[in-house]
Amino acid sequence: MSANDLLKIFFFFACSLQLSMAARQLLESVQDQTQLLQYHHGPLLTGKISVNLIWYGKFKPSQRAIISDFVSSLSSAASTHKSQAQTSVAAWWNQIDKYYRLSGHKKGSSPAAALSLSLGTQVLDETYSLGKSLTDKDIAKLASKGQQKDAINVVLTASEVAVDKFCMSRCGSHGAATGTARVRRGGYSKFAYVWVGDSTQQCPGQCAWPFHQPIYGPQSPPLVAPNNDMGLDGMVINLASLLAGTVTNPFKTGFFQGPRDAPLEVASACPGIYAKGAYPGYAGDLLVDATTGASYNANGVNGRKYLLPALYDPSTSSCSTLV
């Protein structure tokens, strides 16, 4: 093992340990109601928001469908299905409504009253227009290719694309960039974006767990991915977490705890928890598909199954899971 590999393991372990300790301290602190994910009085994303997908690198159509179906499943419109089991991705997303209530927004019974996500346009960049080694500025530049008004632009990088700090301290990120539209008082508006990388070639043990053997910690057998694609199913987990953080903390002034540049947010406050009974190295008592043996906790459109992270529930001061 090279010195660079050892350095990556060290940084990821340190980051994960810090995150786990911070999350544990958070959960301990809320027992006396002295600390929660604090609201810093900034704007949340509201209204009808398009989630635009910018595919950077080569992805198969079947892989793109895994992500696009997940985004479509977030909409409350998915609740038109007869079976409640078919709408559990939307039910997971509806938990975000509690943060809108805490912020003072007046809404109905679901986030759709204040926030409605829908799948927007998809942009393909299969020629690696910015190369195969990207900086944060490159990610923001790619994000600007999507619609900037009433949108979240999601940059998805292929497994051969390296991004700064990918696999060392993060599996993705969310942020905001200056757009091209002017605002009334001068200057330009901001738009929110998300980046998630396919970790298959670089660090599946870090960013695709529990569908890959972990690189450190308890060595439990990997689970079968619900869409039979370890890398893309891992991307769904990270995208779900980052979308939750984006809408509740789009400009670093929303709901979070800790430093603004490395905050605990709605999903990152509950690391490694996917179902009841979870503990370090064990994702929890998940549902298992009788035919494929795949582990999951949510159903989406087009018969999809997904594994989604726990979200911190401010009403119970605990990490909430679907199963």
Residue 113: Cβ within 10 Å count: 15
Tokens describing residue 260: 């603004």
Per-residue pLDDT of the chain (323 residues; tens, 9 = 90+): 444 444 344 334 434 433 443 333 333 333 333 346 999 999 999 999 999 999 999 999 999 999 999 999 998 655 444 444 446 999 999 999 999 999 886 544 444 457 999 999 999 999 999 999 999 999 999 999 988 889 999 999 999 999 999 999 999 999 999 876 555 555 567 899 999 999 999 999 999 999 998 887 777 889 999 999 999 999 999 999 999 999 999 999 999 999 998 899 999 999 999 999 999 999 999 999 999 999 999 999 999 999 999 999 999 999 999 99
User: Do the strands 162-163 and 151-157 form a parallel or antiparallel pair, or are they unpaired?
Assistant: unpaired
Q: Which runs of E-coded beta strand occur in the chain?
A: 38-39, 47-56, 115-125, 133-134, 151-157, 162-163, 172-182, 188-197, 255-256, 287-288, 295-296, 298-299, 305-306, 311-313, 318-320
How far is it, in rounded angstroms, from Cα 310 to Cα 161? 28
pTM of the model: 0.85
Cis-peptide, bond into residue 210, ω within 30° of zero? yes
Query: What letter does residue 130 receive in the DSSP assignment?
Result: T
Residue 4: Cβ within 10 Å count: 8
Angle at 150 between CA 146 and CA 151, to 5 degrees: 40
CA nearest neighbour of 115 among 298, 279, 248, 214? 248
CA 233 to mean position of chain CA atoms = 12
